[in-house]
Structure 1
Amino acid sequence: MDGSAGESSESGSIVSSSQSSKNGAHDIDDGCPRQVSPVRIDGSRNTSPMGRVGLRNTSPSRQKVIKTKPRGLDEETIATFGKVVHPDIQMEDSIWAMLPEDLLNEILVRVPPFMIFRLRSVCKRWNSILQDSSFLKFHSQVPSHGPCLLTFWKNPHTPQCSVFSLPLKAWYRIPFTFLPQWAFWLVGSSGGLVCFSGLDGLTFKTLVCNPLTQTWRTLPSMHYNQQRQLIMVVDRIDRSFKVIATGDIYGDKSLPTEVYDSKLDRWSLHQIMPAVNLCSSKMAYCDSRLYLEALSPLGLMMYRLDTGYWEHIPAKFPRSLLDGYLVAGTQKRLFLVGRIGLYSTLQSMRIWELDHAKITWVEISRMPPKYFRALLRLSAERFECFGQDNLICFTSWNQGKGLLYDVDKKVWSWIAGCALQSYNCQVCFYEPRFDDYIY
C-alpha cells in the first residue's frame, strides 16, 4: 500500500453508484456505505441457465437488453481514483454472444466480489451465475480479492455490517438480518467465514456464517456451556474449520480447553490451561499455535492444536509496556503491538516481532508521532489492534477512522468512513469469498 492509498482512504469518499435498488446497490445520501444484496445459495440448479443444454447464445444481447453493459465501473473509477474515463468501446454482439462459458467464468471470477452483485442485473444468465457450480469451482482457484475490514454493530438492536475493501478503497454495507435475534458479538473471521458467539437467553451459543451467501448454522453446545473466549481457524484445503475455546475460569473452577471440529461436528475436551495470570483474553493464532500473554509466569502461553497441550514460553515483555496486543503474521511471524512510556508526553506505539530462536522480542517499527497523537488524543484512551497477512490495523474509541500499517512495505495509512464511527463497533479482517460453505 503506497502513500496514495492513505490519502484516498483518509478522504472518506464512498464509491458512487448509478444502479437502482434492484441491482443490489443503493445510493446513500449521508456518505454511508451502499448496500450489497447477497445471493442465497440454496442448492437449486433448475434456475441456472448455464446448467441447460444449448444456451451458449444467451448473452446480454439475446436477453432483450442490447444496450445494457456492466454499468457503474467507470463511475467507480473516477470517483475513487480520479482517473480519466475513456469513451465506451462498441462491442460486436455477434462475437460476444458466442462467448464460451468457460471463458466467461474465467473473466467473471476475477471481478471483485462486491461488484458481482451489480453485474447480476445484466441478464438472467449472469443473475444466476453465483448458483452455478462451475463458476464457484473457478472462483475457488483464483487468488483472493484482497484483505477487507469487516465492522459489526447494532443500531439500536438490528445487526449492522459494513465491509471496507482495501483494494477498492470503498465501503460496502451487507444486510445482516438473516442471523437469529439473540445477543451475540463478533469473534473473528477466517477464510471467508465469520464466527459469532453470544447468549440466547441464558444459553451460550456459537454460530458461523458466510456474509456474502447469507448461509449460517449454530454449532453444538460445548461440554461446559459457559461464556468462553473463542477463536476460529478455517482450512480451505481440507474444507473444514475449527473453533478453539480457551481454558477460562468459571467461579473457582478452571475449565478445560475445548476444540470444535466441523468434520466431526462436535467439541472435544483437551488439557486445562496451567494456572497463570493472563494479561488479557486477546489471542493470536499463528502456525497452528494459539498464543496468549501471561504475567505470572511472565511470557506467553502457547497451545498446540496438533497435540492439544499448553506450553509456557519465557519471552519477557519490553520495559515500560503499558498495554500490548498479540498479532499473527504470515510465515510463522508473531508480533507484539503496544504503547510504551510512563508519561503521556513520552508515550509511543511500537511493534516487536518474536525471535523464536532467542525467545526475545525484537523491535521492528514505531508509529510516527503525528499518527500516534491523532489516534490517541488522551494518554489513557483505549485502542484495539488486530492483524492479518502482515497488515496491522489500529482503532480507538471516539474516532471515525482506523490506522493501517503494512509491515512489509513499512507504510502507514488512514482508513475513514462512517462504519468506524458507530458506538461499540467491532472490527476484524475479512476475506470475501462465494465458495466458502459452512462445511
Structure 2
Amino acid sequence: MSDTNPECSNLNALNTDVTESILSLLPIPSLVRFSTVSKLWRSIITSLPPSSSSPWLFLFGIHNTSSFHNQSFAFDPLSNSWLRLPFPSLPSLHLVGSDRFLFSTAPRFSFSPILKPNWRLTSPVRFARINPLLGVFPASSKLILVGGVGSIGGLVNIDDRSPVQIYDSTLDSWELCPPLPEAFRSNAHETLSSALCKSRFYVFDVSSCFISSFSLDTYTWSDVQTLRPPGLLFAFLNSCNDALVLGGMCNSDRGFSFNLWRVEEGSMEFSEIAIMPEALLFGLLVDCEDEDDGHRFRTLKCVGSGNLVYVFNEDGHKKYPACVCDIGVENGKCRWRSLPNLPSPVNNFHKLVSFCSTLSISDVFHSDEA
C-alpha cells in the first residue's frame, strides 16, 4: 500500500497552483526578489508562461570620453519604478535599441539581449551605418536597417546613399533593397523617426513631416506623403497596438501643447486622442526665461509601444524627467501621469539611447533556468 496521501498530494498541487496564480500577477522586479525565497518559488517563477505586459522604457546614457560615466535605466510601468541596470560592455558607441535587444551598428554589426548581455556578431553588413533607423520583424526573424550615415574605416561619410539592408537571422545574411526616397536623404541621420506596424516599416521626418513606408512583402517604398496636424512644430511616429500614433508639439490659439493622434494607414488621416496636461508638459522643461520660446521644447522626445506612450526630456540638466500616457484605457479615454525621478546619481551624457520594449520573466533569467 502506498504511503502517499492522495488528499495531501491534491492539497500540495492546489497550493502550487494558487502560488503560481498569485505570482503571475506581480511585476518583474518583485518576481526577481521572490525567486530567492525558496527553490520551489524559483522553479515556479522561472516556469511562468509569457504574458502580455505594458512596455518598459529603457534609457542607455553614453559618455563619449569615459565609459565610467555610462548608465542605463529601465522603467517598469506595473511597479511604477525605475531600475538601475548594470551597463553592459559595448562593442562600440553606435547603439540602437529595439524589441528586447541592443544593436551595435558599426564598425561591425552585433546584437545582445537587453538584460542578459551576450553580444553576437552577424555576417558582415554590406554598408556600416551610424545612427540608423532599425526595426525587428519577430514573425519573420528579420530586421531592417534604414538611413543613418555611412562609416568607412571609422570615419563618417555624410554623402553616403546606401540602400536599405535587411538581415535574416535564420540565414545569417544581409539583403540589399531600394534606398530611402530622395525626400528623406538630406537629413537621414538627424530628424527621422520610425515605426514598425504590421508588415510595413514607416519613416517619418520629424521636421518636414514627410512620411513613407517600406513593405516587407514587396520590398518597395510607398509614395511620399505629408502628415502634419494643424499647428504641429515637430513630432515622432510610434506603433501602438497595431496602429500608428503620432506624438508631437503644437502651437495653436490655445498655446503650446503636446498632442497624440491616431493615424490611419494608407490615407494618413489623423484624429486627436490625447493632450498632455499643461502641468505635466511644463514640468518636463528646463527653466527658460522666455516662456514663449518654442525652441525649449526641442529636447522633448516621444517613444511608444503597446498601450503606452512615453514623453521625456533628453536634456540632462533636469535629469531626464518623463511622463507616460496610457492609451489603452477603457471607453477610449487616455490617462497621463508623471514618472518618478531616475535613481540618483544621474550623470550627463553625450548620447541617450531610448526605446520601449515588453519584457517577460524569461528575459530576466538565463535560458538554462527558465
Global fold match (TM > 0.5) = yes
- Counterpart CA distance in 2 for 1:105 and 1:408 is 29
- Counterpart CA distance in 2 for 1:112 and 1:359 is 37
- Counterpart CA distance in 2 for 1:322 and 1:384 is 13
Alignment of 1:199-238 (within 5 A): 199=106, 203-211=107-115, 213-233=116-136, 235=138, 238=139
Residue 274 of structure 1 corresponds to which residue in structure 2?
181
Residue 3 of structure 1 corresponds to which residue in structure 2?
none
Go from structure 1 to structure 2 and tell me whether the alpha carbon gap of 1:98 and 1:219 turns closer, same or farther (over 3 Å shift).
Answer: same
| Local SS of the residue matching 1:118 | helix
| Local SS of the residue matching 1:365 | strand
TM-fit CA distance, 1:110: 5.0
Residue 146 of structure 1 corresponds to which residue in structure 2?
54
1:116 maps to which of 21, 25, 31: 31
Q: Is the 8 A contact 1:151 1:419 kept in 2?
A: no
TM-fit CA distance, 1:98: 4.8
Pick the structure with greater CA Rg: 1
Check if 1:430 corresponds to 2:357.
yes
Report the aligned-residue RMSD.
Answer: 3.5
Q: State the identity %.
A: 22
Residue 291 of structure 2 corresponds to which residue in structure 1?
none
Residue 85 of structure 1 corresponds to which residue in structure 2?
none
TM-fit CA distance, 1:246: 0.8
Residue 408 of structure 1 corresponds to which residue in structure 2?
328
Unaligned runs of 5+ in 1: 1-55, 57-93
Residue 27 of structure 1 corresponds to which residue in structure 2?
none
Residue 287 of structure 1 corresponds to which residue in structure 2?
198
Unaligned runs of 5+ in 2: 151-157, 289-293
Check if 1:362 corresponds to 2:271.
yes
Residue 327 of structure 1 corresponds to which residue in structure 2?
238
TM-fit CA distance, 1:337: 1.7
Deviations 1:227-276 (A, max 9, x none): 251323252xx5x6432111456443410100112212221111122311
Q: Is the 8 A contact 2:54 2:78 kept in 1?
A: yes
Q: Is the 8 A contact 2:207 2:233 kept in 1?
A: no
- Counterpart CA distance in 1 for 2:206 and 2:82 is 39
1:188 maps to which of 97, 110, 130: 97
- Counterpart CA distance in 1 for 2:125 and 2:26 is 40
- Counterpart CA distance in 2 for 1:183 and 1:249 is 14
Residue 171 of structure 2 corresponds to which residue in structure 1?
264
- Counterpart CA distance in 2 for 1:326 and 1:174 is 27
Check if 1:160 corresponds to 2:75.
no
TM-score normalized with structure 1 length: 0.64
Q: Is the 8 A contact 2:112 2:120 kept in 1?
A: yes
Go from structure 1 to structure 2 and tell me whether the alpha carbon gap of 1:288 and 1:205 turns closer, same or farther (over 3 Å shift).
Answer: same
- Counterpart CA distance in 1 for 2:54 and 2:265 is 29
| Local SS of the residue matching 1:405 | strand
- Name whichever of 387-396 and 156-165 sits farther off: 156-165
TM-fit CA distance, 1:289: 1.2
Query: Paired residues, what number?
Result: 326
Give the letter for the 1:293 counterpart: F
Go from structure 1 to structure 2 and tell me whether the alpha carbon gap of 1:172 and 1:234 turns closer, same or farther (over 3 Å shift).
Answer: farther
TM-fit CA distance, 1:383: 0.8
Q: Is the 8 A contact 1:392 1:404 kept in 2?
A: yes
Runs of 4+ in 1 over 6 A off after TM superposition: 94-97, 295-298
Go from structure 1 to structure 2 and tell me whether the alpha carbon gap of 1:221 and 1:360 turns closer, same or farther (over 3 Å shift).
Answer: same
| Local SS of the residue matching 1:277 | helix
- Counterpart CA distance in 2 for 1:391 and 1:315 is 25
TM-score normalized with structure 2 length: 0.74
TM-fit CA distance, 1:95: 7.7
Residue 342 of structure 2 corresponds to which residue in structure 1?
418
- Counterpart CA distance in 2 for 1:253 and 1:184 is 17
- Counterpart CA distance in 1 for 2:353 and 2:209 is 29
Go from structure 1 to structure 2 and tell me whether the alpha carbon gap of 1:318 and 1:103 turns closer, same or farther (over 3 Å shift).
Answer: closer
Q: Is the 8 A contact 1:109 1:142 kept in 2?
A: no
Check if 1:245 corresponds to 2:145.
yes
Deviations 1:132-158 (A, max 9, x none): xxx76x53x342343322222247514
Alignment of 1:298-337 (within 5 A): 299-331=210-242, 333-337=243-247
- Counterpart CA distance in 2 for 1:306 and 1:206 is 25
- Counterpart CA distance in 2 for 1:305 and 1:357 is 16
Q: Is the 8 A contact 1:404 1:413 kept in 2?
A: yes
Q: Is the 8 A contact 2:60 2:354 kept in 1?
A: yes
Go from structure 1 to structure 2 and tell me whether the alpha carbon gap of 1:157 and 1:143 turns closer, same or farther (over 3 Å shift).
Answer: same
Go from structure 1 to structure 2 and tell me whether the alpha carbon gap of 1:100 and 1:214 turns closer, same or farther (over 3 Å shift).
Answer: farther
Q: Is the 8 A contact 1:207 1:218 kept in 2?
A: yes
Residue 42 of structure 1 corresponds to which residue in structure 2?
none
TM-fit CA distance, 1:166: 0.8
- Counterpart CA distance in 1 for 2:227 and 2:342 is 39
